[in-house]
Every structure is written in C-alpha cells, then in structure tokens.
Amino acid sequence: MARELEGKVAVVTGAASGIGLASAEAMLAAGARVVLADRDEAALAAACARLGEAALPLRLDLLDPAACASLVPRALAMAGQIDILHANAGTYIGGDLVDADTAAMDRMLQLNVNVVMKNVHDVLPHMIGRRTGDILVTSSLAAHYPTPWEPVYASGKWAIHCFVQTVRRQVFKHGLRVGSISPGPVVSALLADWPADKLQQAREAGSLLEPAEVAQVLLFMLTRPRGMTIRDVVMLPTHFDL
C-alpha cells in the first residue's frame, strides 16, 4: 500500500474495536500516526501493542464531560498536531420505542450526537489555525432512511447527518474537509442489540459489512486531492434488502 498519509496524525474515537480499530489500522498502514481513544483500557492496550509505536493509546470516557473536553489537548500533547479526526465512538438502541430504557436513550444520544459535536468543536480551532484538516464522522444508513426497528438510533444519526453537512459549509473556506460515512449493518458489538429475527435474517442472507471494508472507504475519502471533498458515502452489503 502506498503510504499516502505519511506525516499525518489522526485521532480516532471508539478505536479499540469495530470500525474504529479498522480505521486506525488502515491509517497506520497508510503511514499516519494514530491516537486511538477509547474507554476500554485493556482492549486499547492490546490493540496498540499489536499495532506498534505509531499507535498511541489514549484512555478516556467520552461520556465524562471533563474527559471529553480533554481529548484534543491530550492528543496534541501526545502527537503535536491533528490532521484527521475520525469521530467514530457510538452506541446503539434498537427495538420499539415503548420498550426503550430512557437512561439508555440519554446515554446513546449523548455519545452519538453531543460528544461528536463537542469533539468537532474542540478540534476546529487547531485545524483552522493550520488551514488544513479532515473530519470524518461515522454515521449510518439509518441517517438516510427511517428504519422502523431503531427510532432512537436513527433519529440521532439524522441529527448527525445534518450537523456534518452544515459544519462542512462553514469551514471549507478554511481548507477543511468534513464528511461522513453511512454504512449499512456492520459486524460489530453494536449488532448485539438488533432484534434477534432481524439479525438472523441478515446473517442468513450474507448482508453484513466487515469493519475493514468500511475502513477502506474512509481511506479513499481521506486520500482524494485537497480540492475534492467526498461529502457522504452510503455503503451497503450487496445483499442487504431495505
């Protein structure tokens, strides 16, 4: 693989597993140093030990306001600059709204919406000052279609889709690119909360994506010429019937 991200520094949230880990692996292979941020200290340590010295572990809980606010300054102290922010951390609630736990709803919306907005807010002064930077957000197919089996999750992703597109229009004048990737169902821990019948149907049909497939699309977005922004990619398993 060409080392197209040589000299770049990326920060990835939710980086100890799933899409976040695959994203970090892809960017490391392309030559970047990557700050992997996650609350799972053991998984983070194991991942970074395997990935080598260019993988920098940053243990923090983004649901803690003080810890969330420390993401950017701590990453800068570790790596000196931030060229790429992949705001990936998130959680999932599926099923009927009437059955949802409201505390879990609060936690999901805080992580999937508020934390993303705060992380992007906090990195903007650094990127604007350098007149360059890429911000990518992990969204979802649910941001584009009102999936009836996940109303809370889908509503949060619709909010993030709007956020990404509006912020992009505010900051492109500073040389920044902002985009999102919206995959269909990905093999990850988030699928644990899918309705059992829906998950079984997806498995039988072969209609799930692998995290590494999502990461390859993220790398494609990051390696376009600076005059081109890939605003949003919707990617589906070929056999996914929605």
% of the chain residues with pLDDT over 90: 81
Q: What is the secondary structure of the chain as a DSSP string?
A: ---TTTT-EEEEESTTSHHHHHHHHHHHHTT-EEEEEES-HHHHHHHHHHH-TTEEEEE--TTSHHHHHTHHHHHHHHHS--SEEEE-------S-GGG--HHHHHHHHIIIIIHHHHHHHHHHHHHHHHT-EEEEEE--GGGTS--TT-HHHHHHHHHHHHHHHHHHHHHGGGTEEEEEEEES-BSSGGGGGS-HHHHHHHHHHT--B-HHHHHHHHHHHHTS-TT----EEEE--TT---
Catalytic residue ranges? 153
| 166, pLDDT greater than 90 | yes
Least confident of 44-53, 115-124, 143-152: 143-152
pLDDT band at 61 (very low <50, low <70, confident <90, very high): very high
Residue 190 has pLDDT above 70, yes or no: no
What's the mean per-residue pLDDT of the chain? 93
Q: Is the pTM of this model over 0.75?
A: yes
What pLDDT shows up at residue 189?
66
In the chain, the domains with their CATH numbers are 9-235 (3.40.50.720)
Least confident of 18-27, 38-47, 194-203: 194-203
